[in-house]
Amino acid sequence: MNNAVVNVNGEIVKGPEAKISVFDRSFLYGDSLYEVVRSYGNMFTYVDEHMERLQTSAKLCQMDLAQSPEFLKQELTRTFGKYREIFPQFASKDTYCRIVISRGVGNIGFGLPCIISGSHYYLILQPLNPPTPEQYQCGFHLKISTRLRNHPKALDPAMKSGNYLNNILAYLEAANENYDDALLCNADEHITEGTTFNIFYVRHGTLATPPLDIGILAGITRAKTIQIAKKLNLPVIETRFPKERLYEADEVFITSTIKEIFPITRIDNRTIGTGEPGPITKILSRAYTDQTKWLSA
Ligand SMILES: Cc1ncc(COP(=O)(O)O)c(C=O)c1O
């Protein structure tokens, strides 16, 4: 918070000074959307893809966005400039940016006439805290949560909404048992995704990941990983599978904007493969980072 710069609906302030109304729908109802983008040095990557997903999320929750993607991109640039001015010591470091869109501010009540403003936007920029090389070498240990991923006909996971309580509860269950994070199944006992990441496994040289229509977030890193794997002539299948498929896998890795392609070495107290980051995971994560850094150069 102390290292953050926040754009509160147009006004850029230091983290501790940022305030929003208690009548903001994001606070009252979690009636909000968000995206996380990151920079490599001084360039944010895949911003268009994140803007496109924000539009998809808005459609899924019937939210009229008062801010166009172009406007949000300009505001990202403006806020980033201010961030580097306030914190010159972070200028060459990688930056985390959370873009939050609230349905607006108004009177308490679900009805849209209660809202007296258009959608509000908030940008939070701070230094990025990616996993360390030591954490990469160890890989994460995941627990398959007893909590289920939301059904797509409930709060559709394809929508990146401000409602992460279900995922937080899965995370807390795992953290209480000393795991790094959690995976969630659906009611058919198929693996869906993690609390804040997508999942892949490798078996006999083929990559597998759950399909989007199982009810997951369409991860930007997931899509880039599939593209890179195909370029490298690695077969990829999108398929439903139970947890046992992960236990028997040669390699498992997760994907997200912040963690990029990150190895999983234990699941539910079972060692995955050799218990170290696997060769295909390493090839893909190097290729992903190289490609993304090259785009930012
Ligand atoms: C539930 C969930 N799945 C997957 C992801 C990964 O998405 P991306 O690769 O676009 O960061 C996220 C990222 O926050 C997430 O919250």
122 shares a domain with 139 = no
Residues 89 and 68 in one domain: yes
pTM above 0.85, yes or no: yes
Cβ atoms of 161 and 61 within 8 Å: the answer is: yes
Q: What pLDDT shows up at residue 1?
A: 84
pLDDT of residue 181: 98
Give the CATH number, domain containing residue 106: 3.30.470.10
The domain boundary, picked from 73, 107, 127, lies at: 127
Nearest CA to ligand 1 atom 4: 197
Cβ atoms of 215 and 149 closer than 8 Å: yes
Are 283 and 165 in the same domain?
yes
Q: Does one domain contain both 23 and 102?
A: yes
How far from 25 is each of 56, 116, 126, 233, 290, CA to CA, in Å? 19, 11, 24, 47, 40
Q: Which atom of ligand 1 lies nearest, measured to the CA of 198?
A: 4
DSSP line for the chain: -TT-EEEETTEEEEGGG----TTBHHHHH--EEEEEEEEETTEE-SHHHHHHHHHHHHHHTT---SS-HHHHHHHHHHHHHHHHHH-GGGTTS-EEEEEEEES-BBSSSSSGGGB-S--EEEEEEEE--PPPHHHHHH-EEEEEEEEEPPPTTSS-TTS-BS--HHHHHHHHHHHHTT-SEEEEE-TTS-EEEESSSEEEEEETTEEEE--GGGT----HHHHHHHHHHHHTT--EEE----HHHHHT-SEEEEEETTTEEEEEEEETTEE-TTSS--HHHHHHHHHHHHHHHHHH-
The residue whose CA has the least distance to atom 16 of ligand 1 is 196
Among protein residues, the one whose CA lies closest to atom 3 of ligand 1: 197
Number of domains composing the chain: 2
For helices 220-231 and 279-296, the axis angle rounded to 10 degrees is 110
**pLDDT at residue 60 tops 80:** yes
Give residue 295's pLDDT band: very low, low, confident or very high (50, 70, 90).
Answer: confident
Given this model, what pLDDT does residue 238 score? 98
**Residue 252 CB less than 6 A away from ligand 1:** no
Cβ neighbours of 17 (radius 10 Å): 11
Domain-ending residue, one of 77, 110, 127: 127
| Pair (22, 105) in one structural domain | yes
Same-domain check for residues 167 and 227 = yes
Ligand 1 atom at shortest distance from the alpha carbon of 224: 9
pLDDT value of residue 182: 98
Give yes or no for a contact between 192 and 145, defined as CB atoms under 8 angstroms apart.
Answer: no
Q: Whose CA is nearest to atom 1 of ligand 1?
A: 196
CATH number of the domain where residue 241 is located: 3.20.10.10
Q: Is the CB of 225 under 6 A from ligand 1?
A: no
Q: Is the domain of 139 the same as that of 241?
A: yes
Q: Which residue type sits at 259? A: K
Separation of CA 252 and ligand 1 centre (Å): 17
Task: For residues 189 and 49, state if they share a domain.
Answer: no
* CA 221 to ligand 1 centroid distance, Å: 8
Work out the angle at residue 133's Cα, subtended by the Cα atoms of residues 3 and 129, and round it to the nearest 5 degrees. 15
Could you say which of 107, 127, 147 is where a domain stops? 127
Residue 68 sits in which domain range?
A: 5-127
Confirm or reject: Cβ of 255 under 6 Å from ligand 1.
yes
Co-location of 94 and 238 in the same domain = no
36 within ligand 1 shell (Cβ under 6 A): yes
Return the pLDDT at 145: 98
> Is 26 touching ligand 1 by the criterion CB < 6 Å?
no
**pLDDT value at position 292?**
84
199 close to ligand 1 (CB < 6 Angstrom): no
- Both 183 and 255 in one domain: the answer is yes
In this prediction, residues 224-244 reach a mean pLDDT of: 97
Whether residue 252 sits in one domain with residue 153: yes
CA of 108 to the centre of ligand 1 (A): 31
Atom of ligand 1 at shortest distance to CA of 49? 10
| Residue 83 shares a structural domain with residue 144 | no
Q: Is the CB of 171 under 6 A from ligand 1?
A: no
